[in-house]
Amino acid sequence: MRNNEAQQENAPGGPFLNEGLITAALWRAAQACSSGAAISGWLARVEQAARDITGARLVLVTAADDDQTIITSSADLPPDESALLAGSLMQVLRIRDLSSATGRTERDRLFMLENANAARKGEDILLRELVPQLRLPPSAALIAPLRATDGQIVGLILTQGIETHRVLGVKRMQALQVLAFQTTLSIEGRHLRQRSDTFCKRMEAIRYAVDHLAAPLELEAILESMVEAAEQVFGADGASIYLGQREGVRCAASRGISKAYLQRAEQLGSESFWDTMRSTKGPIYFADLSTEAFDASHREMARQEGIRSMVLVPLIWEDTIFGGFAIYHRSVRPYSYDEMELAQTFTEHAAVAVHRARIYKAAQRTRSNLEAVINSMSDGLLVYDRQGVIILANPRLYDMFGLDKSAKLEHSHIRDFARLAQTKGASTSATAVYIEPDSEPLARQHSIVELKHPEIRYLEVVNQPVMNRSNDLIGRAIFHHDITRERDSQRVKDEFLSMLSHELRTPLTSIKGYAQILLRRPVSRPESDVRALQAIDVQTDKMLRLIEDLLTVSRTEKGRIPLQLERMDPVGLVQSVVDHLGGISPRHEVVLEITGSIPRVSADSRRLRDVLINLVENAIKYSPDGGRVITQIANGSGEVTFSVTDFGIGIPESSWSRVFDEFYQLDSSNSRRFGGVGLGLHICKLIVEAHGGRIWVRSVPGEGSVFSFALPACAD
């Protein structure tokens, strides 16, 4: 029997073995496999080798490419049929692998079928059940699976129409196994090469993204680099970037695509593909736009533009799609899974860059708006940080201090600025407003800074802390408001008042003098003449006091009144005022109440008298129906309290503090029922505060008022 077998193996494909022919076939196949030629080329060589080894009538070789594309080679079948058969057989082998536990251990096993469509004993049962569906020609078949190192089936060699395997002989079967093994190695090598190619491409794309997209902050530059990348990295014929704006989708950059197409794409984007991208959140790929597209109008516009393939990758930031990156090809361009991933990786990098540029742009816009506001401010602004380093000085500030831009206030210290203000004539005490950042960190400082150079200028300066959102001090801002004009007009007003008062006082003093001379003359006059002379005396007194008030206010600088202080007994003074005003109104009764023993005070008695007279006169004036006016003097703790109570018209609470303001009157109506100019209480306040005391009022409208003031008591 062995002799018989050996004889049968002598011919190729026939019963006789020709070892030289088989070796040559294997060698040629090996050469082709390692040549790096296109896969279809070397699969044809493998097919030829299989034919030489087995002498089969039908040979089919198939291998899956790295992206699972199945490539077949068979000279015996039309391409469609061979692709169909190859796909089905691969499927059959894979199903068999899944359902057979022995799959792994039978790595190099050949599957033999005596008659591909008939059940025979001893054949692989599973395969026998699966293969008949393929309707192979009814003759013996041999299937050599191409099994990769990881056990996966990556292809197969089918030989059909041979003698039975018993006739084929062991050596030929071994040779077929070697061929299968050799082919598998080549496929794996090819896959590895493809993977490393893809990896390199991805690295290249990332390097491109890092090189071109990481550095620029300008949106336009980034978008330009992106459309350029479409050419460089993906070999595209055109590219465009669409960004979602409030008014819809807008093309922000493009290359190689007509305006008309982009406009229609914007419309299409606003209408449909935005939603599609939103639902897929991944790239959308149209392999051939002549058969597949978003819709008919998309297909038509692609046709007009001459675009055949297109990939659209969403630009995503924090899970929100804010744009799309479109890559166009003018011919059908298959994209592998890896390439799609590549496009996505690149676009992810681009999305970060675009988002960053948008933030930068928005920040720049805010900054320039802020700068415009600060630069056009009519106040001078100086901002310094916690270290006292000036970080901002607006043009108005330079102007106020007569500095040109070369003075470079920014980066200098606030201490230096205080010194600079002094060289411009500001007093040391006024420049205390330029405080060191950490001294009294939260206090608001206020000062009037008077500059003498380059011209006389009065600045109202307010220095206030600047806090961040978490309420930490981050620096201080100083506002300089020019009050030179107000000061000037105030000075003119004061000079006028002073001049007017002098001019009025002289004739009034004469009138009063003459009236008194006439009254004192020992001549008998009719009663009516005497009353007239007395009225002249009283009214000129009133006018003189009013003039005195006006002069006091106009002379009073910074609210302080010059005083001639002496230690004095306040009781005697109050008593004399009560005596003096007691008889002035027949309908009022002015009384004095003294509580406790009253200590002495250090006061200007003339000024203190003015205060008391003013309060008692007001009490009489604003109690038009008459009544009691109670003047009290009491010993408080460390101070002497004076108060004047009336039961007159009263003052609403909202006006309690305002009655002490300059020229403030409750009844500002034209009727001016009570007369006066609203200076009395203001002067009282100036005098009391100049003594280091305080003044206040409590009142109930319609019931009366209590005006009080307190002066520090002298320590005995």
Chain positions contacting ligand ADP, by CB under 6 A: 618-619, 622, 646, 648-651, 659, 664-667, 676-682, 705
Strand 588-595 and strand 627-635: the pairing is: parallel
The whole-angstrom distance between residue 523's C-alpha and the CA centroid of its chain comes to: 94
Q: Tell me, what amino acid is at 439?
A: S
Q: Which residue is nearest to ligand ADP (CB)?
A: 676
Q: How far is the CB of 640 from ligand ADP (least distance, A)?
A: 21
Distance in Å, CB of 372 to ligand ADP, minimum: 46
Q: Is 74 exposed, middle or buried (0-12, 13-18, 19+ CB in 10 A)?
A: buried
- Residue 199 or 663 having the CB closest to ligand ADP: 663
Which CB sits closer to ligand ADP, 166 or 672? 672
140-147 sheet: strands from edge to edge: 70-73, 58-64, 153-162, 140-147, 111-113
For the packed helices 219-234 and 337-375, what is the interaxial angle rounded to 10 degrees?
A: 170
54: its two tokens? 């087995």
Q: Which helix (H) or strand (E) holds 155?
A: strand 153-162
Q: Alpha carbon of 194 to those of 65, 81, 184, 198: distances in Å?
A: 9, 28, 15, 6
Closest approach, Cβ 628 to ligand ADP, in A, equals 13
Scan for tokens 């203000």, then name that residue.
421
Rounded to a whole number of angstroms, the minimum distance from the CB of residue 359 to ligand ADP is 59
Assess contact for 481 and 459: CB atoms under 8 A.
yes
Query: Which amino acid makes up residue 87?
Result: G
CB of 591 to ligand ADP, least distance (A): 16
Give whichever of 434 and 707 is closer to ligand ADP, judged by the CB atom. 707
* Angle at the Cα of 273 from the Cα atoms of 272 and 278, rounded to 5 degrees: 110
Comparing CB distances to ligand ADP, the nearer of 73 and 665 is 665
Query: Between residues 256 and 678, which has the closer beta carbon with respect to ligand ADP?
Result: 678
Nearer residue to ligand ADP within complex by CB, 482 or 646: 646
Output 135 or 658, the one with its CB closest to ligand ADP.
658
State the Cα–Cα distance between residues 398 and 393, nearest whole angstrom.
7
Rounded to a whole number of angstroms, the minimum distance from the CB of residue 583 to ligand ADP is: 19
Tell me the closest approach of the beta carbon of residue 690 to ligand ADP, in angstroms.
17
Quote the CA–CA distance of 308 and 291 in Å, as a whole number: 9
Between 518 and 592, CB nearer to ligand ADP = 592
3-state secondary structure of 57: coil
Q: Residue 397 or 681: which CB sits closer to ligand ADP? A: 681
The minimum distance between CB 382 and ligand ADP, in angstroms, equals 40
| Token pair recorded at residue 113 | 């079928």
Beta-bridged to residue 620, according to DSSP, are: none
Residue 675 CB, nearest approach to ligand ADP (Å): 7
If the CB atoms of residues 418 and 649 are measured against ligand ADP, the closer one turns out to be 649
CA neighbor of 552 nearest in space, from 444, 437, 682, 665: 682
Asked whether 569 and 600 are in contact (CB, 8 A), the reply is yes
If the CB atoms of residues 373 and 591 are measured against ligand ADP, the closer one turns out to be 591
Cα separation of 327 and 241, whole Å? Answer: 9
**DSSP three-state, residue 425:** coil
- Structure token pair of residue 497: 């008042």
Q: How far is the CB of 602 from ligand ADP (least distance, A)?
A: 25
CB of 657 vs ligand ADP, minimal distance in Å: 11
- The count of C-alpha atoms lying within 13 angstroms of the C-alpha of 177, restricted to the half-sphere facing its C-beta, is 13
